[in-house]
Amino acid sequence: MNVTRGFTGHARAHRPGLPPGQYDAGDDWPVLSAEVTPELTPADWTFRVDGLVAEPRTWDWDAAHGLPASAYEGDIHCVTSWSKFGVRFAGVSLDAFLDVVRPHGSATHAVAYAHTGYTASLPLADLTGGRAWIAWEYDGAPLAAEHGGPARLLVPHLYFWKSAKWIAGLTLLDHEAPGFWEQNGYHARGNPWEEQRYSGD
Ligand SMILES: Nc1nc2c(c(=O)[nH]1)N[C@H]1C(S)=C(S)[C@@H](COP(=O)(O)O)O[C@H]1N2
Ligand SMILES: [Mo]
């Protein structure tokens, strides 16, 4: 058996679970916002799903909390190359919202939009199957405003720019409609395991 001991210095050992080109940010949780953090309270917050759906719907804070609770424990990966391991978010699975609005078969993509105007584009398939959440808790406490509180989108298997903070809604479409970063050359899907950072990757 080979055991390497005494590995010291500033080189970062590649740890399992770290996608290519990423580093482990440890306990740090950098804040990345294109906007000023809005003053948004739970009483102001709403979440709407519309577009190619049978029944467009808007939930307020209480209605959204009436859906079954769902948690994520795992990792997140920002395209600027930090990853964070073992984060814990809680909220509601997006499947629960989509079950209510019933997407048309023609819906292939979604634009997620924030109460601030930030947008992100995602394939609809990445928002289903228990892989996406509306999250309002982090580590058992209310999600901090700078991290998207009262509630943010969480799609942890894609680069974190897809996880729109201060989420206001999703519009389902039958085509890709580039959002804030996608319009600036970032990838339509953004799978960290395939290093889909920029369009063309
Ligand atoms: N509304 C909004 N959501 C956003 C962003 C943003 O600028 N505005 N930045 C994205 C990017 S690039 C990342 S890495 C994460 C950062 O989330 P954090 O600040 O909680 O780490 O939010 C994403 N969601
Ligand atoms: Mo990011």
Q: Are 195 and 77 in contact (CB under 8 A)?
A: no
Domain span at residue 123?
A: 40-194
Nearest Cα to Cα of residue 152 among 63, 45, 51, 43: 45
Residue 8: pLDDT over 60: no
Q: Tell me, yes or no, whether 24 lies in a domain.
A: no
With cut-offs at 50, 70 and 90, classify the pLDDT of residue 1: very low
Q: Tell me, yes or no, whether 164 lies in a domain.
A: yes
Q: Whose CA is nearest to atom 8 of ligand 1?
A: 33
Q: Tell me, yes or no, whether 84 lies in a domain.
A: yes
Nearest Cα to Cα of residue 171 among 110, 89, 116: 110
pLDDT digits (tens, 9 = 90+) for 54-76: 999 999 999 999 999 999 999 99
Q: Whose CA is nearest to atom 22 of ligand 1?
A: 161
Q: How close is the Cα of 163 to the center of ligand 1, in Å?
A: 7
pLDDT digits (tens, 9 = 90+) for 148-179: 999 999 999 999 999 999 999 999 999 999 99
Q: Whose CA is nearest to atom 7 of ligand 1?
A: 33
Q: Tell me, yes or no, whether 139 lies in a domain.
A: yes
User: How many domains does the chain fold into?
Assistant: 1
In this predicted structure, what is the pLDDT of residue 9? 39
The ligand 1 atom nearest the CA atom of 116: 1
Q: Tell me, yes or no, whether 34 lies in a domain.
A: no
Residue 5: pLDDT over 60: no
Ligand 1 — pocket residues by CB below 6 A? 29-35, 78, 114, 116, 118, 147-148, 160-161, 163-166
Q: How close is the Cα of 136 to the center of ligand 1, in Å?
A: 15
In this predicted structure, what is the pLDDT of residue 13? 59
Instruction: Name the DSSP class of 156.
Output: T
Q: How close is the Cα of 2 to the center of ligand 1, in Å?
A: 41
Q: Are 85 and 152 in contact (CB under 8 A)?
A: no
CATH code for the domain of 55: 3.90.420.10
What are the strands, taking DSSP E only, across 94-196?
A: 109-114, 119-123, 133-138, 141-142, 152-154, 167-173
Phi/psi-derived region of residue 86, left when phi > 0, alpha when psi is between -120 and 50, beta in every other case: left
